[in-house]
Amino acid sequence: MSRIRFGTDGWRDIIADNFTFANLRMVVQGIASYVNGRRLGKRGVVIGYDNRFLSREFAEATCGVLAGNGIRVYIPDKTIPTPVAAFAVRHHRAGGAIMITASHNPPQYSGIKFIPEYAGPALPDVTEEIEKEIRRVSEGGRIYELSMKEAEELELVNRLDVDESYINHLQKLVNLKVGAGEASTVVVDPMFGAGIGYLERVLQEAGYRVVPINNYRDPLFGGSMPEPTDRLLGRLKEEVLRHGAVLGLALDGDADRFGVVDDQGRYWPPNRILSLLLQHILRTRSMRGPIARTLATTHMLDRVAEAYGLAVLETPVGFKYIGQCLREKGCILGGEESGGMSILGHVPEKDGILAGLLVVEMLALSGKSLADIHREFVEEFGDTESERLDLRYDEKDRDMVLTRLKGFRPRQVAGIAVTSISEQEGKKITLEDDSWLLIRASGTEPVFRIYVEAPDQTRLKLIQNEVRGVLGL
């Protein structure tokens, strides 16, 4: 068995290979020991699960181990998204949540996310403690377990149903009333995932005509993977055009990431949407405070924040650090380039449902298309292009590439002077024209990720090509 590690957002592995019932029970025992060791067990633990193969069965096995450790369990009768599980932690003042999901990974994967009592992603100090407990179990520690029947007889199982409370909460956070009666059409694509029904219901209750697609359980995700990226949203683009919709909204497998398609069938990257939403929120709400973004996320957020006299907090990659800023620093918005965001007043967990509704609100309150909103935004703040490039390598070449990266301390990149170099996580280089690049190795696969932001596509490609040459990939 390979060592079980919690990555940027939980433990994921291939079903029947390393993600087995035996390993699941071991991981849950580690989480149970962590929860009880902090005297949180009496508050109970929420269990959520997505639409993947065996997710319900994995959730019931999780319930058995928690109950075997004397921990009360809240478990739903249906799949729920990760942000709903996080909301349930806060709603029930629970000691945490275990979410059975592999998020946007391919269908052969499953996974576990642990959400602590603060209702956001687990920080490294938490996952390190859990990993220690898992190792203790793997070295001969006991796994305590009850059957579902035994757990129910001991009244340790509570049926979880927080959909109404969660939806009511969203309806207070987002103003969609302006759309009532206009019958504008929005196409919604939950990508066969746990987010089925949530966007649809809120939008319909606000008076929108909703066209849902891929809104049933398919553990094979239509032969693809549930990641709302430009490459995978072909059908959403087609349906937006076919129905004359004002917008297309997509969610990933556990609905914590968002994807947006405009009325012309064009995909809008999360970096661009985050910048527009920040300006929209600052225009329509009185709350003020810092903005949190990962070091791989657009600096356009910095331009907007500066215009309003607000600080920007740059974090390592991973929404757990954004969640920490939302909880501890009073940030009014936190976002990451991969499509995760949340705002002040919501749970400190990324929520693709909330993000999609905020985009609808932005269009409704402005009465404009995304393209028109962006055109006005560019007149005020300028424009940038950003892209992530994944470069695969042979494991035997890893040390060579890392050595090249370590020695890469240029004075210029693509003919533009370097103004700063940071090695907080990988290597981030900022240029004189506000372009920047980040090079970091993936912790889970043989890939180097190159993030670049530049004034235009020409400069972006020049920077990418120069980095590829330096790394020899």
The owner of tokens 């072909």 is 234
Distance, CA of 444 to CA of 157 (rounded, Å): 35
Give the pLDDT band (50/70/90) at residue 183: confident
Instruction: Reduce the DSSP state of residue 360 to 3 states and report it.
Output: helix
Distance, CA of 403 to CA of 354 (rounded, Å): 42
385-471 folds as: TATA-Binding Protein (3.30.310)
**Mean pLDDT value of segment 422-443:** 92
Position 178 pLDDT exceeds 70: no
User: Each residue of 363-406: pLDDT tens digit?
Assistant: 999 999 999 999 999 999 999 999 999 998 888 888 888 899 99
Distance of CA 375 to the CA centre of its chain: 27
The 3-class secondary structure across 19-79, one letter per residue, is ECHHHHHHHHHHHHHHHHHCCCHHHCEEEEECCCCCHHHHHHHHHHHHHHCCCCEEEECCC
User: Each residue of 243-274: pLDDT tens digit?
Assistant: 999 999 999 999 999 999 999 999 999 999 99
Q: At what angle do helices 457-471 and 398-406 cross, to 10 degrees?
A: 120
Cβ contact 446:395 at 8 Å? yes
Token pair belonging to 317 = 């990659």
Give the pLDDT band (50/70/90) at residue 180: very low
- Strands (E) in 411-459, as ranges, are 412-413, 416-422, 427-431, 436-441, 447-454
In the prediction, which pLDDT does 266 show?
98
Distance, CA of 276 to CA of 335 (rounded, Å): 12
Cβ-count burial 203-218 (b if 16+ within 10 Å, e if not): beebbbbbbbbbbeee
The H or E element containing residue 100 is strand 96-100
Instruction: Reduce the DSSP state of residue 450 to 3 states and report it.
Output: strand
The domain covering 11-161 belongs, at the CATH homologous superfamily level, to: Alpha-D-Glucose-1,6-Bisphosphate, subunit A, domain 3 (3.40.120.10)
Cβ contact 473:393 at 8 Å? yes
**Mean pLDDT value of segment 20-41:** 97
The half-sphere exposure of 98 on its side-chain side, counting CA atoms within 13 A, is 35
Distance of CA 180 to the CA centre of its chain: 30
Give the pLDDT band (50/70/90) at residue 330: very high
Query: Of the candidates 153, 151, 160, which has an alpha carbon nearest to the alpha carbon of residue 69?
Result: 151
Query: Of the candidates 158, 159, 148, which has an alpha carbon nearest to the alpha carbon of residue 58?
Result: 148
* DSSP per residue, 109-140: EEEEEEEETTSSPPPHHHHHHHHHHHHHHHTT
Q: Comparing 69-83, 172-186, 227-241, 403-417, which segment has the lowest mean pLDDT? A: 172-186
Cβ-count burial 116-154 (b if 16+ within 10 Å, e if not): bbbbbbbeeebbebbbebbeebbeeeebbbbebeebeee
| Fold match, 182-267 / 269-350 | yes
The amino acid sitting at 60 is: E
Cβ contact 267:261 at 8 Å? yes
Position 345 pLDDT exceeds 50: yes
Position 8 pLDDT exceeds 80: no
Tell me the domain boundaries of the chain.
11-161, 182-267, 269-350, 385-471
Residue 22: count other Cβ atoms within 10 Å of its Cβ. Answer: 10
In the prediction, which pLDDT does 398 show?
87
182-267 folds as: Alpha-D-Glucose-1,6-Bisphosphate; Chain A, domain 3 (3.40.120)
Could you tell me which residues are beta bridge partners of residue 7? Answer: 10
Distance, CA of 18 to CA of 225 (rounded, Å): 20
Cβ contact 37:122 at 8 Å? no
Position 353 pLDDT exceeds 90: yes
Position 469 pLDDT exceeds 80: yes
- Rg, Å, the chain Cα set: 22
Residue 54: count other Cβ atoms within 10 Å of its Cβ. Answer: 17
The answer as to CATH 3.40.50.300 being correct for domain 269-350 is no
In the prediction, which pLDDT does 37 show?
96
Position 85 pLDDT exceeds 70: yes
The amino acid sitting at 419 is: T
Contacts 24+ apart (CB under 8 A), 163-170: 163/80, 163/84, 163/198, 165/87, 165/91, 166/83, 166/84, 166/87, 166/88, 166/91, 166/198, 167/198, 167/201, 167/202, 169/87, 169/346, 170/202, 170/353, 170/354, 170/357
Residue 9: count other Cβ atoms within 10 Å of its Cβ. Answer: 22
Query: Of the candidates 190, 443, 457, 450, which has an alpha carbon nearest to the alpha carbon of residue 337?
Result: 450
* DSSP per residue, 204-267: HHTT-EEEE-S-S--TTGGGS-----GGG-HHHHHHHHHHT-SEEEEE-TTS-SEEEEETTS-E
